[in-house]
Amino acid sequence: MISNMSFIERIFYILQKYGTSYLKGAGTTLVIALVSTFIGCIIGFLSGIIQTIPVDKRRDPLVKRVLLGIVNVILRIYIEVFRGTPMIVQAVFIYYGLAQVCNVQLGMWQAAFLVVSINTGAYMAESVRGGIISVDPGQMEGAKAIGMTHVQAMINVILPQAFRNILPQIGNNLIINIKDTSVLSVISVVDLFFVHKSVSGALYTYFESATIVMAIYLTMTLITSRLLRLWEKKMDGGDNYELVDVMDIGSQLGKKESR
């Protein structure tokens, strides 16, 4: 019956019969992308901060220098491995490899979050490191000059500026994750692409199902991109601003001049 339909009629037929499945798959894709990007950002920020901890060979103890050196080597290996290999290979390696080698059987959701999170974390680590380095060194010097420790200066001065600098990259990683979760179908994660493969395999409507899935992916990425742009604009603040005289210096100067 479906073979006698036109292209548009087949699309409407598929949507009528499997529309709910497509929506559930899209929901799974969004949940994995959002949660994994958040976890990946945490991993990236921790890795980026550790990589930018200053080391003074004269003042810092040997233990600190050795520990930081070992941690930095481990982080470099982690970053290079997960940036230099495809996510689909990582998914197969983690899901099936852990079960065979370490006898650790991960569930569908656990494997999905783990794979996408650590992959995102590897990319975010370099973005965070670059964002911290891009902040004027005078900011750190000024913070320490008023009595802040390195940790206080990072939390209150450096990281807020670095976060704004790398916000577009965070949004870019989120959009990439929305699309790249499609590779998780290789470990039987029932995301949007998995639904596409199931429907097209059942009805032999590969092009029609791919058209529907492409439209859904495009809609999700466009909406996400727009929301992120609005967030960036809100963080930038208004074009016009007024300087606030917190210490009321202007009034004090006026009184002195009147005297």
Whether the per-residue pLDDT at 185 is higher than 80: the answer is: yes
Sorting pLDDT into bands at 50, 70 and 90, what band is 204? confident
Judge whether residue 162 has pLDDT over 60. yes
Task: Report DSSP state, residue 146.
Answer: T
pTM above 0.95, yes or no: no
- How does DSSP assign 236-248, residue by residue? H--S------TT-
Mean pLDDT of 189-202: 91
Mean pLDDT of the region 39-68: 88
Rounded to an integer, the average pLDDT of 161-187 is: 90
Q: Is the pLDDT of residue 253 over 80?
A: no
| pLDDT recorded at residue 102 | 82
- What is the reported pLDDT for 249? 47
Q: In the numeric block, which tokens belong to residue 44?
A: 């990236």
Percent of the chain at pLDDT exceeding 70: 90
Q: What is the CA radius of gyration of the chain?
A: 25
Cβ contacts of 103-107, under 8 Å, gap ≥ 24: none
**Separation between Cα atoms, residue 40 and residue 252, nearest integer Å:** 50
Report whether 32 contacts 114 (CB < 8 A).
no
Tokens of 92: 């197969």
pLDDT at 153 over 50: yes
21: number of CA atoms within 13 Å, CB side? 17
CATH number assigned to the domain with residue range 2-258, chosen from the 4 options 1.10.3720.10, 3.10.180.10, 2.40.50.100, 3.90.1150.10:
1.10.3720.10
Q: Contact 128/49 with Cβ under 8 angstroms? A: yes
- Res. 116: pLDDT tops 90: yes
- Over 60: is that where the pLDDT of 252 sits? no
Amino acid 80: pLDDT: 94
Residue that wins the pLDDT comparison between 248 and 38 = 38
What average pLDDT does the segment 18-44 reach? 95
Q: Is the pLDDT of residue 104 over 60?
A: yes
Q: What is the pLDDT of residue 247?
A: 47
pLDDT band at 21 (very low <50, low <70, confident <90, very high): very high
Q: How high is the pLDDT of residue 119?
A: 95
